[in-house]
Structure 1
Amino acid sequence: MNRKTLVLPAVAGLLAPVLAACGGSDSGSNSGDAIVVGTTDRFTASKDAPAPLDPAYAYDVGSWNILRQTVQTLMTQPKGDGDPVPEAAEKCGFTDSGNERYACTLRDGLKFTNGDPITASDVKFSIDRALAIKADSGVAGLLSTVDTVETQGDREVIFHLNTADATFPFKLSTPVAGIVDPKDYEKNKLREGFAVDGSGPYSLKADVKNGELVDAVFTKNPNYKGTLELHNDKVEMRSFPDADAMGAALEKGDIDVMTRTMSPQQIQKLGNAGSGGDVDLVEMPGLEIRYLAFNTAAPSVKSRAVRQAIAQLVNRSELVSKVYGSQAEPLYSLVPATVTGHSNSFFNKYGDPSVTKAKALLAKADITTPVKLTLHYTTDHYGPATKKEFQVLQQQLNASGLFDAKIQGTPWAAFRPAEQKGSYEVYGMGWFPDFPDADNYLAPFLDKDNTLNSPYANSEIRSSLIPQSRREADRLSAVSSLTSIQDIVAGDVPMLPLWQGKQYVAARDDITGTAYAINSTSTLQLWELGRGVKS
């Protein structure tokens, strides 16, 4: 494969999962025994982030994976990927030719887990609430095209949009659009702590210690009415401090399934085990990306030339080879190579890494070298290989003689609020898409009220290109505007894409449904898991 062009064999959502060993069957039987799932995601309530599981605040893959089990949305992404389909809704669709009026009819007899009926007014309350709170996480930006929400009777909801938005059905499938009970959630205030009440497939019981969720028990919701078929009655999700502890628990039989984030070494070991063990590794395509973000107002990287020089020096192939091996691919755009609208904009502009070209960029801008800066990363959110990844980046920059870079790791609970406040000049982030469309790799970072709280603003992107791309229901017709956005990003470098990753699940061989346990947007689909017979 030509690693520069990053042309993968097929669209990610259409690729079949690859199984090592003998499990991964979709068949299975319900069981009263909880299926225990391990994760290294950490869930902490703090002064800066007191409401980690409120749909109006939560905006990271770990929190969303709890909400997707418990809070129902009007639309949902189907099992095999593709366009979203009705979930709490019986039907939804645009009712005008301009993609500015979207109407949904609720399923008859919807109830919250406590038995209270769900009406159209509850949907309106939930959407209006998220927009009114406008949490600093930036999640309300997904609903930025909503002008007003209208109800007609108990089952009809009409969204009047302030501009055309062909991606709106996808946005209604995300947790920020989750339906919550006005009895449990205040209109203008976030719900602090770890309580979650909705109408999703499961109810949640949270075990909290010292302000941290350590164990989440999902129990089948008898009032659930939607499209999802549950293959179990109960799933327990345990949070581990690191991948080694999670792996040890799987080996001992304390957990049944191991999800994100495993170490590259664990994945390689399990993949090489063949069919001799009682643990199966499932490899599946993913749309996760990693990137460097720049605080373009920070003195050290305020000059575009400095950011361009970093883009000219970073060697993605070496980075991936040394840290992730075959588990990732170099990425030359914020949009993954397998998503419609992707363009290799960074490679087109910078080509292969070059110290000579980077030096010329800095000299032309009269930048004194070496440029001193700190690369910040989170120690506990994106997996155990993150530190090594930043060590490689540091070495690449410093080896040029043009930079004097240091690295600094911080736990996610402190890292995310600090990033939001603009405390970091350069920092590493990951992105697990809200939905599989190029818009979701661009607008959340580049539009107003962006998720990074970035000072970078480009008027052409915000006023023209993003709205233009959203007018196109046929996403192939949006490629031109999407490409233009990516080219501008490559020139200004407010962010620097690094790599696109695969996804893995490891499970004991009596667990079924593992091939669908995670979809392409890294959504945990715990309802797919069942307990069968060991092979």
Structure 2
Amino acid sequence: MNRKTLVLPAVIGLLAPVLAACGAPDGGGKGGDAIVVGTTDQFVATKDAPAPFDPAFAYDAGAWNVLRQTVQMLMHVPRGGGEPVPDAASKCGFTDTQNESFRCTLRSGLKFADGDALTAEDVKFSVERVLKIKNNNGPVALLSNIDTIETNGDHEIVFHLRTPDATFPYKIATPAAAIVDSGTYKADKLRDGFDADGSGPYTLTTETEGDRVVKAVFTKNPQYKGDLELKNDKIELRSFADTESMEKALKDGDISLMTRTLQPEQIKDLSENPAEGIDLIEMPGLEIRYLGFDTEDSTVKSRAVRQALAAVVDRGDLASKVYPATAEPLYSLIPNTITGHRNAFFNKYGEPNRPKAAGILRSAGISTPVKLTLNYTTDHYGPATKKEFEVLQEQLNSTNLFDADIKGTEWSKFRDSQKRGEYAVYGMGWFPDFPDADNYVAPFLDEDNFLNSPYVNSEARNKLIPESRRAADRAAAAGPFERIQEIVANDVPVLPLWQGKQYVAARDDITGVEWAVNSSADLQLWELGRGVA
């Protein structure tokens, strides 16, 4: 049955399940009893990244999507978004009015997949392990505000925070706070390789070729006790080298659903020329793309160079040429669908303006053209990334103010080089850990930030971010966030480019597709089933 593109309308934190589908109950792939899902995420173990699935190391959307199926957290964000609810816990909440003491009570009878009992001491061990290892690739910054952790018997755990943080429930709902067994995870060392286990909804086995995972198999964990309701017994997540082979596998019936990452051309084709038995589904997305800067590198150390770049980049041209109908210009680190958003870059620089950029450089005594290299990753965000950087290069060089080259590097090498400060200018994307303005600010500006950036603004780091976290009503934090966005637009430690939509394509006998990916790009594979939706 030919299907049109199905759009799932949403406001932030709310998805409306409007998907209608038809199909036979035994169709949708040749994967036996498993529902097979395709992805272009690559899972690679290298010398610099030896432990892709260790919660103390993993901090990218692909690895977290593996962990979310396998490990359990005290809380999780419900299927349609909103505030976190208990999962391994039976109840959680702040015990003080300052949002500095957070208490959770565990469900009774919790066990790891191997049958070992799970207690409050395991939760304490797991969180303290991330803080102790403090891997510079990992998510330690999400937990760094924890001062002490205390347990009371087997079922109660209390987190005492250094400073108030109303977003803390979101942070412990991420794999940064995954509960692991001290019998299989060492307190001070990463667990190398592709093993991952816990008390989550599935157990994990992997198939590898060399240093890469080609298939991750998730099998229903009979020991799981939590808030999630599994609609299937087994899922296979297959990693494809490119989107074309993934699409072919879907049309051939070898997989039932394809997700991260569909390319603009595929989305356009599947929308205008729907394939028999396949639905294209548009979902709300909170992904952003940006240019990052090593502000200590001589090329871009002068703020004037970064401001001039901000004054000439044409976001509308970039989105329309590379990501038609799938992206829109972004003028802030905070997406326009998140409370606290302000078009700070547009307010400061307006439309692309060569004379303004030339004046900025001239006033700072910067000789032109400014030579620089735009670095991008070839295999993490999809093949359209190369075209994106070709368009950026053309925009910059056409002004005669810049002499820009571009250079692509595979992700397994790119990320480590970026963290080591080997790139003056680099392009990256951000998929939020949780849908709050804090998670578009702190990972870039706070101590132990995701980029390992040398840029420091004391007002943002020491005053505004802490102030924003005191507000239990997140709308009340808009003032600090607006000021932070003004600082970023003025100093340009990062340059936001665009905000994207999400798409998945699925065979029409697969149910639950509307819940399979949330707005933060988290895979919720337990929602998938077979039959008539």
Do the aligned residues in 2 keep the contact of 1:12 with 1:338 (CA within 8 Å)?
yes
Does residue 293 (structure 1) correspond to residue 292 (structure 2)? The answer is yes
After superposition, the Cα gap between the structure-2 partners of 1:23 and 1:52, relative to the gap in structure 1 and judged at 3 Å, is farther
Q: Secondary structure, in 3 states, of the residue corresponding to 1:326?
A: coil
Matched to 1:12, the amino acid is I
> What does residue 129 of structure 2 align with?
129
Task: Indicate the residue corresponding to 1:465 in structure 2.
Answer: 464
Contact 1:18 1:282 in 2 (8 A): no
Once the two structures are superposed, the pairs formed by residues 51-450 of structure 1 within 5 Å of their partners are 51-274=51-274, 277-450=276-449
In the aligned structure 2, how far is the partner of 1:15 from the partner of 1:231? 19
User: Residue 123 of structure 1 aligns to a residue in which SS?
Assistant: helix
Offset, 1:10: 6.4
Q: What amino acid maps onto 1:118 in structure 2?
A: L
Please give the alpha-carbon distance, in whole angstroms, between the structure 1 residues aligned to 2:387 and 2:429: 15
2 CA distance for matches of 1:519 and 1:427?
A: 27
Tell me the residue number matched to 1:11: 11
1:211 CA displacement: 1.0
* Partner Cα distance (1:126, 1:455) in 2: 29
Q: Go from structure 1 to structure 2 and tell me whether the alpha carbon gap of 1:124 and 1:130 turns closer, same or farther (over 3 Å shift).
A: same
Unaligned runs of 5+ in 1: 1-8
Shift of 1:272: 1.6
Amino acid at match of 2:479: S
In structure 1, the residue matched to 2:527 is 528
The 2-side partners of 1:140 and 1:179 are apart by 15
Question: 2:70 & 2:15 partners in 1: Cα distance?
Answer: 28
Give the Cα separation in 2 of the matches to 1:160 and 1:308.
41
Shift, 1:170, TM fit: 0.2
Q: Match of 1:430, SS?
A: strand
Q: 1:10 to 1:504 in 2, by over 3 A?
A: closer
Q: Secondary structure at the match of 2:186?
A: coil
Query: Distance in 1 between the 2:322 and 2:13 partners?
Result: 25
Q: Give the Cα–Cα distance (whole angstroms) in 2 for the partners of residues 32 and 211 of structure 1.
A: 27
Confirm or deny: 8 A CA contact 1:17 1:282 kept in the other structure.
Answer: no
| Aligned partners of 2:23 and 2:509 also within 8 Å | no
* CA-CA distance at 1:270 after TM superposition: 1.0
Residue 18 of structure 1 deviates from its aligned partner by 7.2
Separation in 2, partners of 1:76, 1:138 = 20
Superposition deviation, residue 113 in structure 1: 0.4
1:5 corresponds to: none
Indicate if the aligned counterparts of 1:203 and 1:220 stay in contact, CA closer than 8 A. yes
Change (3 A) 1:406 1:84: same
2:304 aligns to what SS in structure 1?
A: helix
Counterparts of 1:43-54 in structure 2, within 5 Å, are 43-54=43-54
What secondary structure, in the 3-state scheme, does the structure 1 residue paired with 2:13 have? helix
Q: CA deviation at 1:262?
A: 1.0
Quote how far apart the aligned CAs of 1:22 are: 3.8
Q: How far is the alpha carbon of 1:234 from its aligned partner?
A: 0.3
Q: CA deviation at 1:15?
A: 5.1
Amino acid at match of 1:48: D
Q: Secondary structure of 2:299's partner?
A: helix
Contact 1:332–1:344 (CA<8 Å) still a contact in 2?
A: yes
Q: In 2 relative to 1, CA 138–205 (structure 1 residues): closer, same or farther, beyond 3 Å?
A: closer
CA distance in 2, matches of 1:281, 1:33: 23
Q: Deviations over 1:77-123 (max 9, x none)?
A: 01110001001000000000100000000000111000111000000
- C-alpha change, 1:18 and 1:329, in structure 2 (3 Å) is farther
TM-score, structure 2 normalization: 0.96
Structure 1 residue 12, shift from structure 2 partner:
3.3
Q: Which moved more, 1:117-126 or 1:209-218?
A: 209-218
Deviations 1:331-352 (A, max 9, x none): 0000010001111111111000
Letter aligned with residue 529 of structure 1: L
| Gaps in structure 2 of 5+ consecutive residues | 1-8
8 A Cα contact 1:11 1:339, kept in partner? no
CA contact (8 A) 1:17 1:283 kept: no
Tell me which amino acid in the other structure corresponds to 1:244.
E
2:482 maps to 483
Give the distance between the partners of 1:89 and 1:429, measured in 2 at CA: 35
CA contact (8 A) 2:45 2:212 kept: yes
Cα distance between partner residues in 2 of 1:302 and 1:142: 28
Deviation at 1:209, TM superposition (A): 1.6
| Residue 194 to residue 23, structure 1, CA distance change in 2 (3 Å) | farther
Q: Is the 8 A contact 2:23 2:531 kept in 1?
A: no
2:370 touches 2:402 (CA, 8 Å); kept in 1?
yes
Q: TM-score, normalised by structure 1?
A: 0.95
* Inter-partner Cα distance in structure 2 for 1:532 and 1:226: 25
8 Å Cα contact 2:12-2:81 kept in structure 1:
no
- Kindly provide the amino acid, as one letter, of the partner of residue 191 in structure 2: R
Structure 2 distance, partners of 1:24, 1:198, is 35
Percent identity (aligned): 65
Aligned residues: 522
Q: Structure 1: how far apart are the matches of 2:197 and 2:16?
A: 34
Give CA deviations for 1:142-165 in whole Å, capped at 9, x if unaligned.
001100110000000000000000
Give the distance between the partners of 1:351 and 1:23, measured in 2 at CA.
48
CA-CA distance at 1:395 after TM superposition:
0.5
Conserved? CA contact 2:101–2:158, under 8 Å: yes
Q: Is the 8 A contact 2:15 2:80 kept in 1?
A: no
8 Å CA contact retained: 2:10, 2:284: no
Q: CA 1:98–1:199 in structure 2 vs 1: closer, same or farther (change >3 Å)?
A: same
Cα distance, 1:273 vs. partner? Answer: 2.9
Provide the C-alpha distance between the structure 2 equivalents of 1:260 and 1:80, rounded to a whole number of angstroms: 19
The amino acid across from 1:57 in the alignment is: F
Q: CA deviation at 1:324?
A: 0.6
Please give the alpha-carbon distance, in whole angstroms, between the structure 2 residues aligned to 1:128 and 1:23.
48
